[in-house]
């Protein structure tokens, strides 16, 4: 068997596949952040909290109404999106005229409130969510035995990311969106309801976080703080990818998942810091990020 730096190739492939699973979550979350940032110029610190709420919503649907995983997959994102709409209308709109930094601060406060509230209600160790019946068990893909559910995560999130990209780049709605990003005043003059579009965009970005939450529920413990540690890594992903392109955030997310997976094999102690080291490197070499347009 071929060894790469002392690790069998097949084992390495398996680890890379696992890395892609984590990368899928990074991609979904950073995509949401990028979409929101594009139009609102706000870094949504509450993104991790919405992700957490997505997971809790899936758990709640199952526990209280008996609606299972696939139902949650369809219901939860619009639900979280709706909540996002409300947040935008009630809170973010009021500070839209201020420096974008206030948006970061507002959403930071919001994240504290949401996480604190869930912590108060559900305790910290959280709740457990089963893998749906039809996706249980594992698949032998030749080099490893991987749980079906993990493959499902990779497939679904890639599909979602790609279709989001297609919508934004190829459809009429997407062109309005891009126009509003470039020049809101002018777009408004063409009769397009920009404030509504902004609210919808925030709702959509947040819905993506909710979707990621539902998908994470069967793998990770559904816990109030599940988003707060993830979000900082996702910030680093966003910095590395640069805010310029939608595709960039997706590719960077998946790529960093891979890199992190490989680090776990060779130097596990460093796996949580490797993303930040990469970020520092990228900043030195390409301050605008890998896919970013320089400001």
Q: Of the listed pieces 54-62, 76-84, 130-138, 203-211, which binds another protein according to CB under 8 A?
A: 130-138
Q: Alpha carbon 153 to chain centroid distance?
A: 13
Q: What would the two tokens of residue 119 be? A: 């912590």
Instruction: Pick between residue 189 and residue 240 the one whose CB is nearest to another protein.
Output: 240
Chain residues 144-163 in contact with another protein, contact rule CB under 8 A: 144-145, 147, 149-150
Q: Which of 9, 74, 86, 101 binds another protein (CB under 8 A)?
A: 101
Q: Which of 4, 9, 86, 98 binds another protein (CB under 8 A)?
A: 98
Q: Which of 4, 74, 116, 166 binds another protein (CB under 8 A)?
A: 116
Q: Which of 40, 226, 246, 250 binds another protein (CB under 8 A)?
A: 226
Q: Of the listed pieces 51-59, 73-81, 165-173, 267-275, which binds another protein according to CB under 8 A?
A: 267-275
Number of residues in contact with another protein, rule: CB under 8 A?
A: 79
Q: Alpha carbon 172 to chain centroid distance?
A: 25
Nearest one of 219, 110, 85 to 157, comparing CA atoms: 219
Chain residues 23-82 in contact with another protein, contact rule CB under 8 A: 37, 41, 43
For the CB of residue 166, give the shortest distance to another protein in the complex, in Å: 27
Q: Which of 2, 66, 120, 133 binds another protein (CB under 8 A)?
A: 120
Q: According to the binding rule CB under 8 A, does residue 235 interact with another protein?
A: yes
Instruction: Please state at what angle helix 69-90 crosses helix 47-60, rounded to 10 degrees.
Output: 140
For the CB of residue 269, give the shortest distance to another protein in the complex, in Å: 5
Q: Of the listed pieces 61-69, 173-181, 182-190, 273-281, which binds another protein according to CB under 8 A?
A: 273-281
Q: Of the listed pieces 54-62, 77-85, 187-195, 213-221, which binds another protein according to CB under 8 A?
A: 213-221
Q: Of the listed pieces 77-85, 102-110, 192-200, 248-256, which binds another protein according to CB under 8 A?
A: 102-110
Q: According to the binding rule CB under 8 A, does residue 15 interact with another protein?
A: yes
Chain residues 275-294 in contact with another protein, contact rule CB under 8 A: 275-277, 279-280, 283-284, 287
Q: According to the binding rule CB under 8 A, does residue 135 interact with another protein?
A: no
């Amino acid at each position: 068997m071929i060894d790469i730096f002392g690790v069998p190739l097949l084992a390495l492939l398996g680890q890379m596949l696992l890395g892609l699973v984590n990368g899928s979550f990074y991609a979904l979350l950073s995509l949401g952040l990028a979409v929101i940032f594009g139009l609102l110029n706000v870094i949504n610190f509450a993104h991790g909290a919405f992700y957490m709420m997505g997971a809790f919503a899936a758990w709640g649907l199952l526990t209280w109404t008996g609606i299972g995983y696939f139902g949650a997959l369809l219901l939860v994102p619009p639900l979280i999106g709706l909540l996002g709409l409300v947040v935008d209308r009630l809170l973010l709109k009021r500070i839209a005229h201020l420096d974008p930094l206030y948006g970061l601060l507002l959403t930071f406060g919001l994240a504290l409130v949401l996480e604190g509230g869930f912590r108060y209600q559900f305790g910290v160790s959280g709740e457990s969510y089963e893998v749906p019946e039809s996706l249980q068990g594992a698949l032998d893909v030749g080099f490893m035995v991987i749980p079906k559910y993990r493959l499902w995560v990779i497939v679904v999130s890639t599909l979602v990311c790609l279709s989001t990209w297609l919508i934004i780049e190829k459809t009429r709605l997407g062109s309005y969106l891009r126009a509003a990003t470039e020049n809101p005043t002018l777009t408004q003059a063409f009769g397009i309801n920009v404030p509504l579009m902004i609210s919808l965009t925030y709702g959509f970005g947040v819905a993506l976080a909710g979707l990621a939450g539902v998908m994470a529920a069967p793998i990770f413990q559904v816990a109030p703080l599940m988003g707060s540690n993830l979000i900082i890594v996702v910030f680093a992903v966003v910095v590395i990818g640069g805010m310029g392109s939608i595709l960039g955030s997706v590719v960077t997310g998946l790529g960093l998942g891979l890199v992190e997976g490989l680090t776990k094999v060779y130097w596990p102690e460093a796996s949580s810091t490797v993303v930040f080291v990469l970020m520092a490197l990228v900043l030195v070499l390409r301050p605008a990020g890998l896919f970013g347009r320089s400001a």
